[in-house]
Amino acid sequence: MRIATWNVNSVRQRLGHLLDFLKEAEPDALCLQELKCMDADFPRREIEEAGWQVETHGQKTFNGVAIISRSKLEDVRRGLPGDESDEQARYLEGVLPLGTGVVRLASIYLPNGNPPNTEKYPYKLNWMRRLTAHAKELLAHEEPLVLAGDYNVIPEPRDAREPAAWVDDALFLPPTRSAFRGLINLGLTEALRATTDTPGLYTFWDYQAGAWQRNNGIRIDHLLLSPQAADRLAGVSIAKHVRGWDKPSDHVPVLVELRPQ
């Protein structure tokens, strides 16, 4: 079973890239972030005509998450619990039936939090607290669970080409990294670091200052696995070549392979 996550950075602008990636990678499910469109404007027809099922949680201009899958999702939840006033479309969850088993899957677009001296950073940390509380409830079900997405968190210095450039950024501040560790410490496994300690593995390269050409990247797109999913972990890969496509997203897909039950 192959599950992927990708901050597509405007699904309508990258529709061609999205269809190409689905054909190339053949995932069982792909979690998308930063759709930048309402549900009604999502290019559902083109994706469904290519043989896929689609669930979306969109928002005009900003945010938005989706899950594209081979099988229709069940028990779909739109929005992260814990704050009824939060209108930002950043969380989508569902159950993916596969053979005799299921995998619960979430597409996550965690807030950026910059600038840290504004209300955006407390919102980020509170969102992370809500995610941790919800993940704790999900883990109690003791089922395969994959929390996939753009976390806007650089976990460690080795996850940035130039760590010193990020010390005052909301993605790398100590409270951010501490909150991320707290989430993992619930009993989740960070898929890539469970398979390799190799430095220089990145998922995002800024459009500015030749970051891609100089490989000046950061790793902020992650897949976190429950123990029942981690027991089936067979491998993780970063589709780095996608960043070299014409007019790409600034993020690339990350894929996890899970062995059959």
How far apart are alpha carbons 81 and 85 in whole angstroms? 10
Find out whether 185 is annotated in a ligand binding site: no
94 C-beta neighbours (distance < 10 Å), count: 22
Find out whether 117 is annotated in a ligand binding site: no
Find out whether 150 is annotated in a ligand binding site: yes
CB 32, CB 3: distance < 8 Å: no
Find out whether 156 is annotated in a ligand binding site: no
SS3 per residue for 44-112: HHHHHHCCCEEEEECCCCCCCEEEEECCCCEEEEECCCCCCCCCCCCEEEEEEEECCEEEEEEEEECCC
How far apart are alpha carbons 109 and 153 in whole angstroms? 11
Find out whether 231 is annotated in a ligand binding site: no
Active site residues: 109, 150, 251
Find out whether 7 is annotated in a ligand binding site: yes
Burial class (CB in 10 A: 0-12, 13-18, 19+), 246: exposed
Q: Does 115 sit behind a cis peptide bond, omega within 30 degrees of 0 on the bond before it?
A: yes
**Binding site for Mg(2+): which residues?**
7, 34, 150, 152, 250-251
**Binding site: which residues?**
7, 34, 150, 152, 250-251
